[in-house]
Amino acid sequence: MNGIRKTALAAAIAGSMLVGGVGGAVLYAATTLTASAASPSPSPSSSGSSSSSSSSAGKFVPNEDPAHEATESAAREAQENAGQVPTVP
């Protein structure tokens, strides 16, 4: 009788480990997919789009006024040309 109990206990432990492993893998895959879907990579936009549609989409639009451009540093202008929000004064 003692051997049957040991076998049943071993089967219960193995089953719980299997269920826990599969559950953990599913949760890990779900969080990995959610994280990658939450931060999509920016896609380049066509140069033919109007400025009103790009500003409504939340895209950064640099100030290309000649008076403003004269006071900008080269690093800031490079960030603007790359489509990034400038972090350099």
Q: What is the 3-state secondary structure (H, E, C) of 58-88?
A: CCCCCCCCHHHHHHCCHHHHHHHHCCCCCCC
* pLDDT score at 6: 94
Coil vs helix vs strand at 89: coil
pTM above 0.75, yes or no: no
In the chain, what are the domain boundaries?
1-36, 59-89
Report mean pLDDT in 10-residue bins for the chain, 89 residues.
90 96 89 66 51 55 81 86 79
